């Protein structure tokens, strides 16, 4: 693989880090340095996503009206409480993914 050329027209963190023209004279990162970057990105993303989900869940549960609507929608979509919640079905739940739930979370900021 040629430095900075990952075979995609869409830039990634790796294509940017491996592009000699974007390193401003610094050496291309080693495999170990790239691994460290990945660990940092994953940790930051997991932490941010986790905090956002906890905050959103708190605000949904705190608003009885929103909570009841989300609960009813989930029960209708998944009548068997022991069945797995699949992402494809969840993303089709109109109220759960609606502005009502999202805006309730955003209002908290």
Q: Is the pLDDT of residue 102 over 70?
A: no
Local confidence band at 73 (pLDDT 50, 70, 90 cut-offs): very high
| Single pTM value for the model | 0.55
62-71's contacts with Cβ under 8 Å and 24+ in sequence apart are: 63/104, 66/100, 66/101, 66/104, 69/95, 69/100, 70/95, 70/96, 70/101
User: Which pLDDT does position 80 carry in this prediction?
Assistant: 93
- Mean pLDDT taken over the chain: 82
- Give percent above pLDDT 70 in the chain: 83
Mean pLDDT of the 36-55 span: 85
pLDDT of residue 32: 92
The reported pLDDT for the residue numbered 64 is: 92
pLDDT at 67 over 80: yes
E strand or H helix at 60:
helix 31-62
């Amino acid at each position: 693989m040629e430095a900075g050329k990952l075979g995609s027209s869409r830039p990634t963190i790796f294509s940017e880090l491996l592009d000699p023209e974007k390193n401003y004279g610094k050496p291309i990162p080693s495999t170990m340095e790239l691994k460290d970057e990945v660990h940092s990105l994953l940790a930051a993303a997991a932490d941010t996503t986790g905090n956002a989900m906890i905050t959103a869940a708190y605000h949904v549960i705190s608003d009885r009206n929103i909570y009841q609507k989300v609960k009813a929608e989930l029960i209708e979509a998944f009548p068997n409480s022991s069945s797995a919640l699949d992402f494809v079905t969840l993303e089709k739940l109109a109220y759960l993914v609606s502005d009502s739930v999202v805006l309730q979370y955003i209002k908290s900021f």
